[in-house]
Amino acid sequence: MTDQDIRFDTDFARGLFPEPCWNWSFFDNAGGAYVPESVIDRLTGYMRECQVQPGGPFGPGKDAKERMDLGHASMAALIDAAPDEVVIGPSTSINVYVLSKALRPLWADGDRVIVSDQNHEANAGPWHRLAETGIEVVVWPVDPVSGRLSAADLEPLLNERTRLVAFPHVSNLAGEVNDVAAITRLVHDAGAQVCVDGVAFAPHRAIEVKAWDVDYYLFSFYKLFGPHIGCLYGKRDLLLASRNQYHFFIGEARTTYKLNPAGPQHEIIASLTGIADYITALCEHHFPAPFNSLHQQAKAVSGLVEAREDELCERFLAFLASKSRVRLVGPGADDVSGGGAIRVPTFAFTVEGMASASIPPLLEAERAVIGHGDFYARRLVDALGLDPADGVVRASMVHYTSDADVDRLIAGLDRVIPDS
């Protein structure tokens, strides 16, 4: 059997999570994914066995530090980075905010930052606020119908004073996978840096910060089957050049600390090893041959997940296309036919004649959970000409979403959405 013959085992993956997770068909994964038992065990094990100040001179203190160091190092390895290139902070929103403060002293008044309207506000608001400090902030617009981004719209915005371009790897509404490597090359050719929000990408594909050559990359572990905490990757030389935002006595060389003014969350960082445990379990179940690194394991599993999620995409997009009153945000059925990585299974849509807020409660009979709102992508909602008070309906899937779950979702939406 070749790797091409291996199919992702959804039932095995679901068996690694607490059983109550499956009492409902859950389609709010883009808001926060379920957590496997491995993460829960790492978290509770730390709190039961070594909930003391890490690094102390006695057994539990040493154990606590080792568990934290392992969590930090494993997440760096997951994305193919060195530990001192990874900052683990409270959330992506605060990590971008701190990063913007750390970079501003390096730039002159009149320098330019380009911010995509496809961003979640986490990777938009902090950069927009720099306009109050003398930075020129320019918007990289989206297509006003689909919400998609085009590099052709970015290129004329780049000039010799551009310092940074902030954009998402995947929009949490459009679901579109932007070509990070190509965009990064374009920006680098103009002499600028990129800050990429990978929050909506991370649950679906392997993160390869070195291969993409990104300068800064952010994601949230609670979207990646872990605890509510965020990760900032930065190239080592760029983190060293950024300005300390922590206590004054924290040296500029302490890259993992100086951009986390909240300080490290001990037990939460220790629990991150459980994400590595989960990926390893998936890899060992599907592939008989061992892999040399956690990153290689993640890439192998990602290939299976992508194929599985492409199936979910095609099926659900075909259903939405059959409903004439549905307006889909992002790539549609014609864009993803035959597979490919143009989108992940996060679907935002509106229904003509129906308030978005009215639809999720109607699916309770099917025990299917979806959401509505702007999902902190208010600038994208505005750019699409939608009512920000009502927003969109969003259904989001990941690899543990079963065919039966999708059956329930389609049955429920088919019942409540008019055909014409």
Per-residue pLDDT, 1: 47
Q: Are 97 and 72 in contact (CB under 8 A)?
A: no
| Residue 339 phi, psi (nearest 5) | 90, -165
Name the region of 340 (left: φ>0; alpha: ψ -120 to 50; beta: rest): left
> What is Dmax (Cα atoms) for the chain?
71
**DSSP letter, residue 244:** P
Per-residue pLDDT, 73: 98
Both tokens assigned to 98:
């701190």
| Pairing assessment for the beta strands 368-369 and 25-26 based on DSSP bridges | parallel
Four-residue CA torsion sign, 300, 302, 305, 307:
negative
CA distance 409 to 344: 17
Cα–Cα separations (whole angstroms), residue 175 to 253, 269, 346? 37, 29, 5
Both tokens assigned to 174:
């459009």
CA distance 176 to 260: 30
Per-residue pLDDT, 333: 82
DSSP three-state, residue 281 = helix
Q: Are 377 and 121 in contact (CB under 8 A)?
A: yes
Per-residue pLDDT, 288: 86
Q: How far apart are the first and last CA of the chain?
A: 47
Per-residue pLDDT, 385: 97
Which residue stretches of 265-402 are H helix? 266-271, 273-286, 294-321, 333-336, 378-383
Residue pLDDT, tens place only, 81-103? 999 999 999 999 999 999 999 99
Cα–Cα separations (whole angstroms), residue 309 to 18, 345, 360, 400? 22, 6, 22, 10
Query: 164 pairs with which residues across the strands?
Result: 113, 193
Low-confidence ranges of the chain (pLDDT < 50): 1
Half-sphere exposure of residue 87: CA atoms within 13 angstroms, side-chain side: 35
Per-residue pLDDT, 337: 57
Number of neighbours of residue 278 by Cβ within 10 angstroms = 22
At a CB cut-off of 8 Å and minimum separation 6, what does 243 contact?
101, 102, 103, 105, 106, 252
H-helix or E-strand containing 328?
strand 326-329
140: amino acid identity, one letter: W
Residue pLDDT, tens place only, 9-54? 999 999 999 999 999 999 999 999 999 999 999 999 999 999 999 9
DSSP three-state, residue 233 = strand
pTM attached to this predicted model: 0.96
Per-residue pLDDT, 56: 82
